[in-house]
Each structure stands twice: as structure tokens, then as C-alpha cells.
Structure 1
């Protein structure tokens, strides 16, 4: 049997799929809400660790924080914010590349789903409940090839890096109306969909042929890509037959096609955030995540704040007295986090019963709590939800320092999505598994 090198394998996949099809989720899962219940959504905002002295509040009165310079943008939406600190991981010495951040269990697993991050675990559980949206989970993120991401489903998952590819993946099933007859589809759009279906058929054939000459791990990865293709195919088929591939109701409108400097990963991720908001508004997905860089590097080019460097070596471990440059970057990232909160708050639910933010939990998670020291002793989170949402919030924001294991925060993300069976997730030695006390509103 002819063998394939890793390079030839990737070359074959790249030629067959193209960047627009390399999105990671692949499972029939999430969620049309049960009748009479509002939909629930989860957005994970994932970055490297930070310097604790940069991130921690300048002061705390009760649970009310006085934000640091790096976190100061949170002041604008403080009534929606809960900051969490002090939470040790199961494997505090794992540092770079550890899966612990979103899996709760370092590099090992004896659960039924294997090594799995919280986003994919939620998807699997919702799949088991018979809930489905056109895209089960949407993983986006530019400049992630320099190391590992935080997302796992037995293997490390690779987000879509190109905003154009992400846009095509999410919104390709939306068929514009016929300009001369709004009740009929546009013939030109239908022709484009048929061409795309033909391309997908060819790609599936190529991948099936390629699988015959690969090892088990590479076959597994191609199976994931095949499942991705099937999901896109189902969405395109739904559009051609009058199915539910397109957006409806509420604040749903297809965002304009991405434009600008998409070679700059920071700007590309801003476009990715807009795509996620659009996907939520149109109920195309209920679980989304964005990764900023990888565990080893993130190339920062932000001329508007006078910052051009590499996060890991330049800002975290470089000659940066007082972490001045890292503070600039963290402040900018907090501005992006706040921007998503504000956009979701402005968009109404399809049933007019509030905003998208009211039914969305946004979780800023990290791979380490103390990046300069390379430890996971004190994991840090920033969570946000809307009025009457999952979180117990306060007008001035909340800061909670806890010695509970950080996995309990991940279980809170499950709880927010209606997943209360935690078997098979996280560290099997944790014992009785439950969400973090005092975090949920009820």
C-alpha cells in the first residue's frame, strides 16, 4: 500500500477542500429550542494567558471591582460582567499546549468522548437530545497555525482562519429573493448553489479515494472533513428545496461580505466576530468560538494603538517593562469583547422577547492563568450575559475569587446551555461534578 507523508496528506486535503471547508465541528447537533423556550447560545472567546498584575482589578469592594487599565473597557458593560480568578486547574504545571483550559483534564481522558473541550461536549449532549442547527458549532480564528488551539474532539481542532471562508461556510445557504418576484428565488443564485453542490460532490469523491492510503489518525481527520462537507451540502440542499437553510426573523440579516486587510490576523478576527454575531442572529449556530493566535504565538499588528509585536516572545517574555505593551494588547482585546456584547445587546430575538445577549453566555477563557510563569494555578475568566440571563450580575459588575477547580466554570457553561449531565467530561478524579457555586442567577 502506498504511504503518504504528512506534507502530502495536508497538500491533498488542501487541494481538495480549500480553506473555506476546513471548519471543525462536524456533528449533527444543536438546537432548536423546545416550544415555548428561548434559544440559548454560547460564545467562547479564547486567548493565551496573561500577566496576573495586568488583569487583576485595582481594588474590590465586596464583589464590585475597580477595573485595571487593561480591563478598563469592561466599565462600559459592567452590569453584564462577572470576573473570576484564583481557580486552580487539574494540571497546574501543564502550561503551553495543555488541553486543560477547555477540557478540564490536561492530556488524559477516560470519558466516553475521549479528550473533548467544553464546546464540543455541549454539542454532543445537545445532539443526543435531538437538537440541531445548520452548523452545530462554529470555530473561527486567524493565525492559529503556530501551535495548538483550545478546542478538542479527540484531536486538536483547527478553526477557520479566513474570514472569506468563514462567511461562505456560514451564509452560503442563504438564497436571495428574485428582484422581479420576491416570492420566488433568484435564478442566478440557484445556479450558483447547483454549481456548489457539484463541487461538493467532486470533493467528497476525492477525499474518499484519498482515505484508502492513509493511517488511522489521518483517516479520522478526513472523516471529520467529510462530515463538514455533508453539513454544507445539507444547508445548500435546504436552500434549493425551500428548506430552512437561510436566516429568518428577529434581527437576522446577512452581514456584508468581509473586506479590508484580512492578512492582518487581528483585523481578520474582528471580521470573524461579526460573522459569529450574524450566525447567532440567523440561528445558524448556537455554539461558536474564536481563537486569538495559538498557545505559542499571536502576531500583533495594531497601528492605531502603536503596537506591532508577537504576543508570546515579544509581550509576555520580551523586554516589556511594566508590561506596557501587553497592557495595550489586553485593553484592545477587552474592547473587542465589549464590542460583541454591545452588538448582541442591540439585536432582538426572533420572538421580540428581548435581545440576543439575554440568551447568550459569552466566556473569555485562557490556556493559562499566569503566562509569564507558565502556570495554571489561578485560571482567569470573564463572563457576560444579558439582563435576566444565566449569570447573577450586579450594577457595578462582579469579581469572584475562588479556590474551586476551574473545571467548575466549564461545567457552568454546560449548565447555561441546559446540559446538566456531566458524565464523561473533565477530570474523572474531580469527584462530584457541579457548576461553580454563586455564578448562576438561579
Structure 2
């Protein structure tokens, strides 16, 4: 069976996960897949409590010890303890290209940060269409290693975005809405609605009326490929049948959850986020988990190898009651440097990080050849802001998860020398991913050893 085998039916195309039946004699599809790690770049906006002077002393983001004998318990990363062997902490790096370079740029940090996160270039101050920053890390990788997949990359988000016009301080809204840039002047659109992301991955076409009818009758996309599926399964071995059944079950479960969200949001009940599309859950955790499930499905079937995921927006007033504080996000981030305020923001940071183990569990459960998907993936999680109360971009939070085809050792805290650009870490990640010929990235002035235990 060819690797690019699809189950196809009317307005549905389902790519398959790796199966033993796809392995030709002498050279397996699994071996070929090892050449290109999966990449997820996640921005959680507006810094961390541990980047505040007092928060840093309390080790609220990065642990006190470097190397591999670090203690996560005081940090916002405590939920990652079970995955410390997949965790690389990179502390004390700066995102100086997000800082103002002229008096008229002062105050515009919110509207430069996100555009700088994966580009490490300084955004041009404009409210027009002549935006300019730089090509982002994820797109450089997709250009080199994402062209063999049906979708070179996908861009997802949680908060509302509005890429039209200007926002504030002379900056176009697109700068704060986008972290993925195909070129210095080409921000890529982001998908907030899980339904839209799901249908993009699984080729659910047809007319608007046909799609509406399918949703009304709650028919599954699997219904449209059932005949071809039965024929194909009759030719598979026992292990392949189990692997395929699990994959199809996961697709159907994600589809059911999207349907439940849409039914609830269209029932007439009062919504917490009335402006959001029907497919967007009001619950932050539910929304994030759906997006993680969609990414895991895409990786399992090699539909794409590259995602960027923007989990917040600087000016958001969203509350996270499950975090332990009911303070809205942006007001909490301006904590005034007080102990109580910093602790409240720390609770929110900790809650955001606690979303990650769900994704890690999901990736680790996906077997591909002789290893699991978490071994094959690099997940970047961080922020281009440092101390949110001061709007500075020094000592910003940054971690990497996964093994990237076993090119990362994990279980290490690397503290960079003072003044080190975060771009140095990003350049090192690119080398780890296979972009060995890159000598600079953004404002980099060197590289970091991502496996250093000293």
C-alpha cells in the first residue's frame, strides 16, 4: 500500500496513519518518516510571573538549578514533572526585537510581541497593508520539510483575531494576531474554529447546503468512506486493523465533540462568548484540548508536520476560574510587582502550562514504527514578553518538549548567559530540526547547546 493512500468518498478524504502494509521490502515508510520531525510552535502571550524580579527569586518560571537535577515544584511547569525526560528549559534569553527602537514606538509592545516570537525581527510600524517583519521559524521549516505532506503547515488560535486595519500605537492588528509569516510581508491566517480545522484536514467538501445538511443530521465523515474502508480492512493484518480502528475511533470522537459543542452553542442558551463561532467551545480547556486532538490526528496521518498555535492574546480579559484566581488575564498580568498580584498571575501561568500534558499524553499514545509520536516531535512553548507588568522583553519564558526524532535529550535546564537573544535558542532548534545550513536567525549572535547538562 502506498504511504499516500486515502479513503475517499463524496466530500470526504481521510488520510491513513502509518501501517505495516505500507512498508515495502528493504525500506520502510517508518524509516523515511524519521527524516522530518513534527513541529508545534505554541505562543502563550504576555510573559510570566516568574520573569518579574520577585517572581524570578521565587523560581516561579525556571527552576533554581541548571542541568538535570532541577526542582519543578515552585515553578509554573510543575505539571510537566511526569514528562521531565522530554523537557528542555531554556531560561534567561531576550527578545529585543520586540522592544521600541524610536520614541513613537514606545507603548506598542502588545502589538509587536506576537509578530516577533517566531521571527525575531522588528515589525515595521504601520497600520496599512505594508506590514513587514520576517519569515517565521515554522514557515522556514515547512518550506524545507513540509512540502511532501498534503498541507505544508496549519495555523491555529484560541482567542478572537481581527486582521483588518490598525489596533493601537500605529500598528496593524495583524502583528498581534499572527505568529506565522510565510515571508516578511505575508502573515498567514489562523483558524479558531475546530470545525474549520477538522474539515480542512479531512477534505470535507461539497456545497454549503450539503455541509449544513450533514451537520444537521449529525452524519459522520466516516459514513462517506465506509465502503472503501471495509474493503481495505479485509486486506490488513491484525495489528494494522487495531491501529486503523483506533485512528478512526479518534477521528469520530473528535467529530462528536465538535458536534456537541455546536449543538450546545446553537441551542439558544446564553453563551459566555456570544461573538465566537458555533464550533468554538466557551470552555478554554475544552477548546485547547480539541485543537490538540486535531494536531495529533494530523500528525498520525502525516497530513501536515507543522503547526503554530497561538493560545492567547495580550489584551484578553478572559478569566480562568480553574486556575485558582478569578482575575481577568490582562489585569492579572499587570500585577504591580506585589506579592499577591504576582502569585495570582503565576496561578494563570501554571494553569496554561497544565494544558500541555494532555497533548503529550496524546502524542505518546500514537505508535509509529518502533517509537511514539512524542519521540518524533518538537514542541516550542514560550512568550516574547518577559515581565508583563513592565512590558519588557528580557529573560522571557521558553521551553521545548519532545525528542524531535531523538535529537533532544530532555531533562535539562539551560540558563543562557545574560543578554543572550532568544534567537540563539531558535537557531539551535532549527539545527536540531535539520536546517543545518542556517548560520543566523533574526538577531542571533550564536547558538546554544540544547543537550547541555552543565
Q: TM-score, normalised by structure 1?
A: 0.66
> What is the Cα deviation at residue 156 of structure 1?
3.4
For residues 230 and 244 of structure 2, what CA distance do their matches in structure 1 show?
A: 17
The structure 2 residue matched to 1:83, chosen from 89, 97, 111, is 89
| Matching of residues 17-416 of structure 1 within 5 Å | 35=32, 37-48=34-45, 49-51=47-49, 52=51, 53=55, 55-57=60-62, 59-60=64-65, 62-67=67-72, 68-91=74-97, 93-94=99-100, 95-98=109-112, 99-107=115-123, 115-126=134-145, 131-145=147-161, 147-153=176-182, 154-172=185-203, 177-178=225-226, 182-183=230-231, 252-253=247-248, 254=251, 255-257=253-255, 258=258, 259-260=260-261, 262-294=281-313, 296-317=314-335, 321-349=340-368, 351=369, 353-386=370-403, 389-394=406-411, 397-403=412-418, 404-416=420-432
Determine the C-alpha separation between the residues in 2 that align with 1:388 and 1:33. 12
What is the TM-score of this pair, normalised by structure 2? 0.64
Q: Measure how far apart 1:384 and its partner are.
A: 1.1
Task: Give the distance between the partners of 1:88 and 1:180, measured in 2 at CA.
Answer: 53
The separation in 1 between residues aligned to 2:44 and 2:31, in whole angstroms, is: 33
Is the 1:357–1:386 Cα contact (8 Å) retained in structure 2?
Answer: yes
| Inter-partner Cα distance in structure 2 for 1:375 and 1:114 | 19
The equivalent residue for 1:213 is none
Partner SS for 2:362: helix
Q: Could you tell me which residue of structure 1 aligns to residue 26 of structure 2?
A: none
Given the superposition, is the C-alpha separation of residues 360 and 388 from structure 1 closer, same or farther in structure 2, using an over 3 Å criterion?
A: closer
Pair 1:289–1:33, CA change in 2 (3 A): farther
Paired with 1:182 and 1:268, the residues of 2 have a C-alpha distance of 33
Aligned length: 333
Classify 1:180/1:56 alpha carbon distance in 2 versus 1 (closer, same or farther; 3 Å).
closer
Q: How far does the alpha carbon of each residue in 1:291-321 deviate from its partner, in whole angstroms, 9 at most, with x for none?
A: 1122x32343434445444312344347972
Find the aligned partners of 1:180 and 1:134 in 2 and give their Cα distance. Answer: 20
Structure 1 residues 288 and 387, CA, compared in 2 at 3 Å: closer, same or farther?
closer
Query: Deviation at 1:398?
Result: 2.8
SS at match of 1:340: helix
Structure 1 residues 183 and 363 mapped into 2: Cα distance closer, same or farther (>3 Å)?
same
Gap change, CA 1:322 and 1:178, over 3 Å in 2: closer
Describe the superposition over 1:29-87 as per-residue Cα deviations: whole angstroms up to 9, x where unpaired.
Answer: xxx98847454111112111112116334531654322224221121211211111111
Contact 1:117 1:151 in 2 (8 A): yes
Flag structure 1 segments of 5+ consecutive residues without an equivalent. Answer: 1-31, 186-247
Q: Is the 8 A contact 1:250 1:281 kept in 2?
A: no
C-alpha root-mean-square deviation of aligned residues, in Å? Answer: 3.4
Structure 2: gaps (5+ residues): 1-28, 101-108, 125-131, 163-175, 205-220, 234-242, 262-279
TM-superposed CA distance for 1:330, in Å, is: 1.3
SS at match of 1:105: coil
- Residue 336 of structure 1, CA deviation: 0.9
2:292 alignment partner, SS class:
helix
